[in-house]
Structure 1
Amino acid sequence: MTEKENIRKSLLAREAGHIPAPNWGKAAERVRGLVEYRQAGVVFAGPDTALDQVRINTLMDGKDLLLPTPGLKEGFLLIRPRRLPARQVRQAATFRQQLQLGERLAAATAAELTISFLVTDAVALDLQGGRLGDGQGFFDLAGAILAETDMLASTYTVVILTGSDRLVAGRLPQEPWDINGSKLISPEEVIELTPPPYPRPKIFWDALPLARIKKISPLWKLKEQRPGA
């Protein structure tokens, strides 16, 4: 078991059944108040339950919402609220309706998108923006795909929606492909993080088994485009 896995297991075991669920709606309202959010035309948000209200607010505020498909297998879904009947806008933020109301992100559409605002959650977070997620790595991989396909803006904000109690002293263990957070937002407060300078996200091909690459359509397409593929 890696150091990350040990920390994750310890934190989750300590909290199991003892801590009431945070008021994620209040945290989502704090996201709404950020200048970076107000300036964004498109918001990338993960599928986590904690982000439900963030996704709803994004669509209700008239912003396009970019979502990963389950396991990133089919890439991304784009939901454009201005193209939906008013009664369906709120529904489109729910997992059940996303596949029906969202459109699979085509290359032509992707070329028009610029993603400058991303939201995810975390099991733990440090003051330098180091994030410990669920261990599957889908957020970091999604960010790398957005960067490799030129959808990620040159300057972007990564908001981590989590409880203030998840902020740890010291530096969490990090991998080269980990994407650091810019801000921690909890129901109670906004904490500015101070991530060190780090290179633009990219795909670390040598760290990805071929079997996994084949299961994720945008990864497979990118691999086929590589010289010598």
Structure 2
Amino acid sequence: MCIVGLLFISRSQSFVVTGVSKQSIREQIWDYMESHDLADFPRPVHHRIPNFKGSYLACQSIRDLEVFAGTQEVKVDPDKPLEGVRLLALQSKKTLLVPTPRLRTGLFNKITPPPGATKDILRKCATSQGVRNFSVPVGLDASVLVDLVVVGSVAVSEKGWRIGKGEGYADLEYAMMVSMGAVHEGTPVVTIVHDCQVIDIPETLVEDHDLTVDYIITPTRVITTGCARPKPTGITWSKVSCEMLTKIPVLRSLRERERRAGKDVTLQSEPGGQQSIPSTVRRPRAIPPSQAGSLGGSHSSLQVQDTQPAATVCVGNLPYDTRVRELKRAVRELGVRPLRLTWQGPQHRAILHYADLAAAQEALSLLQGLHLGANTLRVTLGQQTDT
């Protein structure tokens, strides 16, 4: 059995974490915190950034960091153990940005307490409910310059290696902030954890897209990691799944922005460059009468190349008053670029044409859950032909 590291509980207690994967470390940290009654609400802490007894006290120590005192704009994750930092930021009249849960509605929100807010109201603003009730969304084009990033962790090493709960949101949020110019290489990153979460983590577990930390705060210590490993320099699109792109609208917008800037935005499941967006739009090809007869309705070309379509995706359940341009816009925002779009308005559907089955399947994945108006569109794989 391989020894990953010694996990310090106090000056007199310690235990060894075994295993060499991030998930095995997470499970052992969660189990230990629960079995030794170190965890705090919400429980159980499994599959969460764990809240712990003494988290509020640990948060107070961030005031002693010069990087906190000199900041104006702070991004703090919405995790429960970081609630004390969010309150301090508001009390210090700093601009507080909090990521939206799972990035469903944007990258982050700016917390805006009501005028003349008392300490009790500020305390409510710092809670997860307060983040929902006292905030306004911050758009991608907003002028944001974050001075300090505070993230939660499941485990962290004194060298600055960090392990989150496994969903990758903190890493992705940072990479997205880099992409929109909200942080730079020198922006400090702080994490706040229980002493038992500070362990030795093999550097072999740390990947290029993983966010490292500069400061670790526990109930008993403030650790300066001196981490020299570069932080993510932007979104690693090859690590982004189609499912993630479907669930996070702001990520789709960033992908389109970077595509227009000429960057490689090939996703995890895409063959090397096969799904890159065509940059050339050629004259629409005439639709054969036989095809027109089988598809019915009027036709509208979204984008046509000399490639003969070999697979299609059917988009159904369109609202009765939907116009073709509305569907085109929605499709483009998802980064879905068919060779041609055949509009079948009377049947409340459209057909997207692709050069091969792989391209059609990729589009099918990206389009799942797409809404127009009040309707969730029905997306299915259509015909395949030999090329």
Alignment of 1:35-184 (within 5 A): 35-75=66-106, 76-81=108-113, 84-87=115-118, 88-108=121-141, 110-111=142-143, 113-172=144-203, 173-184=205-216
Residue 32 of structure 1 pairs with residue 50 of structure 2: no
Counterpart position of 1:9: 27
Count of residues paired in the alignment: 226
Among all aligned residue pairs of Structure 1 and Structure 2, give the percentage whose two residues are the same amino acid: 25
Counterpart position of 2:246: 214
Check whether the contact 1:116–1:153 (CA below 8 A) recurs between aligned residues: no
Check whether the contact 1:128–1:171 (CA below 8 A) recurs between aligned residues: no
Matched letter for residue 18 of structure 1 = H
Q: d(CA) in 2 for partners of 1:102 and 1:177?
A: 29
Check whether the contact 2:111–2:134 (CA below 8 A) recurs between aligned residues: yes
Q: d(CA) in 1 for partners of 2:155 and 2:235?
A: 23
Matched letter for residue 74 of structure 1 = T
Distance 1:2 1:168, change over 3 A: closer
Q: d(CA) in 2 for partners of 1:69 and 1:32?
A: 25
Question: Which deviations, in whole Å up to 9, do the C-alpha atoms of 1:29-68 show, x marking residues without a partner?
Answer: 1101211001111111111111111111110110111111
What SS class does the counterpart of residue 153 from structure 1 fall into? coil
Matched letter for residue 136 of structure 1 = E
- Bigger Rg, which one: 2
Deviation, structure 1 residue 11:
2.3
Question: Which shifted more, 1-10 or 218-227?
Answer: 1-10
Moved beyond 4 Å, runs of 4+: none
Check whether the contact 1:143–1:201 (CA below 8 A) recurs between aligned residues: no
Q: d(CA) in 2 for partners of 1:132 and 1:197?
A: 15
RMSD over aligned Cα atoms: 2.0
Check whether the contact 2:174–2:232 (CA below 8 A) recurs between aligned residues: no
Deviation, structure 1 residue 137:
1.0
TM-score (norm 2): 0.55
Q: d(CA) in 2 for partners of 1:85 and 1:148?
A: 35
Question: Which deviations, in whole Å up to 9, do the C-alpha atoms of 1:185-216 show, x marking residues without a partner?
Answer: 01111011121231543111111112211211
Check whether the contact 2:156–2:201 (CA below 8 A) recurs between aligned residues: no
Question: Which shifted more, 59-68 or 205-214?
Answer: 205-214
Q: d(CA) in 2 for partners of 1:139 and 1:147?
A: 12
Q: d(CA) in 2 for partners of 1:11 and 1:187?
A: 17
Matched letter for residue 192 of structure 1 = T
Distance 1:89 1:15, change over 3 A: closer
Question: Which deviations, in whole Å up to 9, do the C-alpha atoms of 1:82-140 show, x marking residues without a partner?
Answer: x64413433211111212210011244x22x2112111122211122000111111111
